[in-house]
Every structure is written in structure tokens, then in C-alpha cells.
């Protein structure tokens, strides 16, 4: 059986040569979308014509897509976030959805900790100053021995905590799902206490209806005026208007962001003009080792399903009970 596999994930385009070879060896034809994702719904429907699988960016996979693309059997997210996939609609349509958990944890943790160091010591401002021909002192804040608050303590949050130990930081965490079980070296507490006591607040929670906009004006006012906010999780966690106000009013000392409610971030978005704010283009995952592993895992899930096996990392296990299941096991 030959499958046509669409790739919309830029990471796979760049780092997926070995994974693509494995797909081709399994009998797949691999094609790229005209541009890297996320694609619009109309672009996605056109690109998916005749495709049984997709190695997906954060494109919108919903009931309309599944109804319009009857050949599609699997959405293999080349990443950990699955908020762009309607899991209920996928299961009802008989489409398997997978992701690549763990593939990028260390890379994102490196990036989050690096952003924290950068915003604390104004490294980005110093670089811009030097490149413009300037020279001046830029006062910063220490990271060593301070308090780090982690909102969400999954694989990435725990990896950030490991890095914080080397800086002798006190690590607080808010994660109701893990609070009772606990994690060695991390103090679990309520969100208000974390915000009031942390010098750095780093977001690592998933995007869900419950977490949407959780970082709003009230939360920023709970933070110390000397505290910094870092987000490498999902833009949906943050009310960006409230964050901009908090930066402009000095409610918090600064922020470092890698994710946004709209991506790519529009060129005229007010965040681009916000003071004391380090902005990155959703790049935390993008270490060579992590993108190669993401590509490999994405390809393996497709090959497994093609060859009649249940792949690992299925995000909508209810699909196996769907009478509409589009593949044979």
C-alpha cells in the first residue's frame, strides 16, 4: 500500500532527511505544502487532496478538514502541542492524531532558561546597543539564588527546574495535576503564592479552555514589580493587552516571549513596541537534535499505522472505537 504524505511542518523540511528516507522506504510519497505551516483551512484542504497522512505544523485540523479530506488517516503533529487539532472531531471521523512528546523538552528548557538569563541581564539590549555603535552600562538583575516559579511542571517544566538547581534557585510550582504526587526539589503551591514570591515566572502549561488568558492584569499585579515573565508554552495562556499594559506601567520588570496568540506575530502588533520585552519567533524547540527527533517520531507513527500497527503517542485513543476508523489494523 502506497501512502501520500503531506509535510507542512518547517522543522521536518529542515531536519527530516533521514525520516523522509524512512517514509519513502516504507512506500510513501512525501510532498511539501507550497509554504510551511500553519496553513489556512482552505490551503490545507487543497494541499491534502489525495493524502493519507500529514506531518503537521500547527495547522487547523477540525471537522471541516476531516470531512473535506476523506483519504486522510493520520495527523502526525511534528511537535508536542495539539491545541490546533480537534481531537473529538478527529476521533469521530476516524482520523488518528499523534504528537512527539519528549522530543523537544531539553531544547525548550535550554531556551526558556536562556531567555530568563537574557532578559535579567539585558543581553539583547546590549547586543542591539553595540551593533548600533553605542556603548553604555545596562543594569541587570541576578538569577543565582533567586526564586523561580513554574506554571506547569510537565517534561519541560521539570527540565527547567533541573537547570535552576545549578543556579541554587528556589523553585516553586503550580500544577494541580502533580501537586499531590510532588516532584523532588520543587515546592508546590497555589498560583497566587507563586506569583507573589517568584522573581521569575515561567509558563509551561498546555493551552486548554481552563488556561486560556490565565495570565491577565490581575495575575501581573500579583507579581513583584522586579519580577520577569517568560512564556515558551502557548500564546493563548496570556492576555497580551494586559501584558503590554503591565510592561508599560512598570507593573512587572520585563517579559520574554517565544509564543503568541497570533503566529506569525503581525509586523504592526503592539507587542513589538512594548518596553523591556524580549521577543523570539516561536523558536524554542528549534535545536538540531530536537527537530531530528521530532521528524523521526512523526515518521514512525505514520509507518506504524501504514503497516497495521497502533502507533505510540496517540492523542485521541477514542479513535480506535470509532466505526469510522479510516485505517486497518
Tell whether 150 and 34 lie within a shared domain.
Answer: no
Tell whether 9 and 28 lie within a shared domain.
Answer: yes
Tell whether 96 and 175 lie within a shared domain.
Answer: no
* Bridge partner list, 201: 149, 229
State how far the Cα of 23 lies from the Cα of 296, in Å rounded to an integer: 10
Residue of 64, 124, 282, 310 marked active site: 282
Cell numbers 483551512 correspond to what residue?
41
Tell whether 98 and 128 lie within a shared domain.
Answer: no
Residue of 263, 272, 273, 289 marked active site: 263
Whether 121 is catalytic is no
Residue 194 lies in a domain: yes
Cell numbers 532527511 correspond to what residue?
17
Domain of 253?
A: 105-279
Residue of 10, 77, 158, 234 marked active site: 234
Tell whether 262 and 175 lie within a shared domain.
Answer: yes
Per-residue pLDDT of the chain (329 residues; tens, 9 = 90+): 689 999 999 999 999 999 999 999 999 999 999 999 999 999 999 999 999 999 999 999 999 999 999 999 999 999 998 999 999 999 999 999 999 999 999 999 999 999 999 999 999 999 999 999 999 999 999 999 999 999 999 999 999 999 999 999 999 999 999 988 889 899 999 999 999 999 999 999 999 999 999 999 999 999 999 999 999 999 999 999 999 999 999 999 999 999 999 999 999 999 999 999 999 999 999 999 999 999 999 999 999 999 999 999 999 999 999 999 999 99
Our measurement of the distance from residue 167's CA atom to the centroid of its chain's CA atoms, rounded to an integer in Å, reads 25
Residue 115 vs residues 97, 279, 305: alpha-carbon distances, Å? 31, 9, 39
Our measurement of the distance from residue 77's CA atom to the centroid of its chain's CA atoms, rounded to an integer in Å, reads 11
Residue 327 lies in a domain: no
Tell whether 221 and 263 lie within a shared domain.
Answer: yes
Tell whether 46 and 83 lie within a shared domain.
Answer: yes
**How many structural domains compose the chain?**
2
CATH of the domain at 99: 3.40.50.720
Whether 263 is catalytic is yes
State how far the Cα of 216 lies from the Cα of 206, in Å rounded to an integer: 16
Whats the size of the chain, residue-wise?
329
State how far the Cα of 114 lies from the Cα of 122, in Å rounded to an integer: 12
Tell whether 217 and 263 lie within a shared domain.
Answer: yes
Amino acid at each position: 500500500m502506497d501512502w501520500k504524505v503531506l509535510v507542512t511542518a518547517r522543522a521536518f523540511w529542515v531536519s527530516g532527511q533521514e525520516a523522509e528516507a524512512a517514509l519513502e522506504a516504507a512506500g510513501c510519497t512525501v510532498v511539501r505544502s507550497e509554504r510551511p505551516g500553519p496553513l489556512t483551512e482552505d490551503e490545507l484542504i487543497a494541499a491534502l487532496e489525495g493524502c493519507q497522512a500529514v506531518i503537521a505544523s500547527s495547522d487547523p485540523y477540525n471537522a471541516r478538514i476531516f470531512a473535506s479530506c476523506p483519504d486522510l488517516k493520520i495527523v502526525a503533529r511534528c511537535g508536542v502541542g495539539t491545541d490546533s487539532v480537534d481531537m473529538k472531531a478527529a476521533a469521530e471521523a476516524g482520523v488518528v492524531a499523534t504528537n512527539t512528546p519528549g522530543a523537544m523538552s531539553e531544547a525548550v528548557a535550554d531556551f526558556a532558561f536562556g531567555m530568563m538569563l537574557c532578559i535579567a541581564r539585558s543581553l539583547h539590549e546590549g547586543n542591539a546597543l553595540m551593533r548600533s555603535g553605542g556603548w553604555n552600562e545596562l543594569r541587570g538583575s541576578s538569577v543565582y539564588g533567586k526564586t523561580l516559579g513554574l506554571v506547569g511542571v510537565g517534561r519541560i517544566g521539570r527540565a527547567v527546574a533541573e537547570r535552576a538547581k545549578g543556579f541554587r534557585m528556589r523553585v516553586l510550582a503550580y500544577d494541580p495535576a502533580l501537586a499531590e504526587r510532588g516532584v523532588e526539589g520543587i515546592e508546590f503551591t497555589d498560583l497566587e503564592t507563586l506569583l507573589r514570591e517568584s522573581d521569575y515566572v515561567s509558563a509551561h502549561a498546555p493551552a486548554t479552555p481552563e488556561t486560556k488568558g490565565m495570565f491577565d492584569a490581575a495575575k501581573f499585579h500579583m507579581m513583584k514589580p522586579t519580577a520577569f515573565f517568560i512564556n515558551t508554552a502557548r500564546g493563548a495562556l496570556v492576555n497580551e493587552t494586559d501584558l503590554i499594559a503591565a510592561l508599560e506601567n512598570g507593573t512587572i520588570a520585563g517579559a520574554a516571549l517565544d509564543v503568541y496568540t497570533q503566529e506569525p506575530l503581525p509586523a504592526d502588533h503592539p507587542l513589538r513596541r512594548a518596553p523591556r520585552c524580549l521577543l523570539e519567533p516561536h523558536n524554542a524547540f528549534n535545536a538540531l537534535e530536537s527537530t531530528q527527533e521530532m521528524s523521526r517520531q512523526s515518521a514512525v507513527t505514520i509507518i506504524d499505522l501504514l503497516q497495521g500497527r497502533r502507533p505510540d503517542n496517540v492523542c485521541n485513543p477514542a479513535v480506535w472505537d470509532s466505526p469510522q476508523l479510516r485505517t486497518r489494523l
